[in-house]
Amino acid sequence: MKTIRKILYPFSLLYGAITSTRNHLYNAQILTSTKFKTPTIVVGNLSVGGTGKTPQIEYLIRLLKSNFEIAVLSRGYKRKTKGFLLADEKVNAQLIGDEPYQYFTKFKNIKVAVDADRVNGIQQLIQLNNKLDVVLLDDAFQHRKVEAGFNILLTSYNDLYVDDKMLPTGNLREKVSGAERAKAIIVTKCPSDLTEEKQFEVAKRLNPTLYQTVFFTTIEYDDVIKGSSKIKVDDLNNYEVLLITGIANPKPLTNFLKEKKVVFNHMKFADHYFFTEGDAAEIELKFSKIKSKNKIILTTEKDYVRIFEKFEKLHYLPIKTEFINHKKDFDNLILEYVGTSSRNS
């Protein structure tokens, strides 16, 4: 692996130069960005892979939905459609992507749309609802054609962007200096007992500017498995589990199951994987070979929206992001931005 990284290093230098030049052109206003009167909040990262964008978007929805008109805009990664598409009762994960479909099914009183062209997407959403208070942009940190009002940058506790390298040697989409565009930096997937002393050490390594605040969050699993039936998580160790994942980093989930002393077999698929009929047959065959009478197929919430139609009985474990501390400080930052910007729009 080290040899391959060394071979690819010149390409990383080239990729870094290209992305840096692009950012410089936007910063110098040679390439133009569109700024909207309607508040726009971007949730994104510097690296490819799972940093917890979906639960963070859901956190913002829960924070804002009671007092503001919300829309979520995503590109709809791996969807089988093109252009702008507003979620309605006719869509599924294949038409709009798994994450947008998850937002749509969980939160009924918000608008969810997909468009690779974020400028056009925001314009379409505003035309549909001119009283829109805020647009949440999922995974748009590098989408410089929109000048967001508030950028939230995520980085995983065990994979900080300051420790990474540019693609293809590492996983960075742009250089670490791109983090300066963020108003808030959130270190995700932290141990729930992370001390303030350790938080200070991590924040120091990230080297935030005077205008940035660093927060720390952890993954909180629901206490009930949902899907075709409900099972208490604490009772899950009475079952033998076939675990199906198609996410970038299933390790937090597998660690959680191990901590709960759950016996499981893991079938791991690529991130955002769309399961075929052949995959379903293979899963069913493997499940049939489990001899225990108490057995279930378990998947993640994100995978569930892509695969639930293929199985009569399927369960998923919901998750949400929780701030270890300083939650009110983060909430106030968001509420002040949206409230003030909405009044002035």
Q: Which of 39, 277, 293 is nearest to 146 (CA)?
A: 39
CA distances in angstroms from 50 to 1, 43, 212, 299, 317, listed in the order given: 21, 12, 22, 16, 17
Residue carrying the six token digits 């400080």: 329
How many whole angstroms separate alpha carbon 98 and alpha carbon 61? 17
CATH code, domain with 156: 3.40.50.300
Is 19 within the bounds of a domain? no
Q: Are residues 207 and 253 in the same domain?
A: no
Report the C-alpha gap between 262 and 117 in whole angstroms. 44
Distance CA 180, CA 27 (A): 12
Residues 71 and 152 in one domain: yes
What is the DSSP secondary structure assignment for residue 30, as one 8-state letter? S
Examine the domain organization and report whether 267 and 313 are in the same domain: yes
What pLDDT shows up at residue 312? 83
In this structure, the answer to whether residues 299 and 155 fall within a common structural domain is no
Q: Which one-letter DSSP state was computed for residue 308?
A: G
Buried b or exposed e, range 299-316, using 16+ CB within 10 angstroms: bbbbbbbbbbeebeebbb
- Quick check: 265 and 290 in contact, CB under 8 A? yes
- Domain hosting 31: range is 2-14+25-220+322-344
Q: How far is CA 139 from the centre of its chain?
A: 7
Residues 108 and 129 placed together within one structural domain of the fold: yes
Q: CB-based burial of residue 192 (10 Å sphere; 0-12 exposed, 13-18 middle, 19+ buried)?
A: exposed
Note whether residue 184 is domain-resident: yes
pLDDT digits (tens, 9 = 90+) for 55-66: 999 999 999 999
228 and 196 inside one domain: no
Helix/strand/coil for 69:
coil
Write down the pLDDT at residue 5: 67
C-alpha 72: how far from chain center? 13
Strand partners, 297: 242
Q: What are phi and psi of 259, to 5 degrees?
A: -60, -35
Q: What is the DSSP letter of 130?
A: T
Tell me if 135 is assigned to some domain.
yes
Element (H, E) at 44: strand 40-45
> Is position 66 within any domain?
yes
Q: Is residue 112 part of a domain?
A: yes
Distances in Å between the Cα of 3 and the Cα atoms of 7, 8, 9, 239, 272 are: 6, 9, 10, 43, 29
User: What per-residue confidence (pLDDT) applies to 32?
Assistant: 94
DSSP 136-172: EEET-TT-TTB--SEEEEEEETTB-GGG--BTTTSSB
Q: Do 60 and 198 belong together in one domain?
A: yes
297 and 205 belong to one structural domain: no
Residues 213 and 283 in one domain: no
Q: Whole-model pTM? A: 0.94
Terminal Cα-to-Cα distance of the chain (whole angstroms) = 52
How far apart CA 57 and CA 52 sit, in angstroms, is 9
The pLDDT profile of the chain, 345 residues, written as one tens digit per residue, is 566 766 778 888 888 899 999 999 999 999 999 999 999 999 999 998 789 999 999 999 999 999 999 999 999 999 999 999 999 999 999 999 999 999 999 998 999 999 999 999 999 999 999 899 999 999 999 999 999 999 999 999 999 999 999 998 999 999 999 999 999 999 999 999 999 999 999 999 999 999 999 999 999 999 999 999 999 999 999 999 999 999 988 999 999 999 999 999 999 999 989 999 999 999 999 999 998 889 999 999 999 999 988 888 899 999 999 999 999 999 999 999 999 876 666
The dihedrals phi and psi of 159, each to the nearest 5 degrees, come to -150, 60
Whether residue 140 is found in the same domain as residue 68: yes
Task: Return d(Cα 24, Cα 7) in angstroms, integer.
Answer: 28
Same domain, 107 and 183: yes
- Res 275: pLDDT: 92
Instruction: Specify the CATH number for the domain of residue 270.
Output: 3.40.50
Q: Do 95 and 209 fall into the same domain? A: yes
- 20 in any annotated domain: no
Report the number of distinct structural domains present in the chain.
Answer: 2
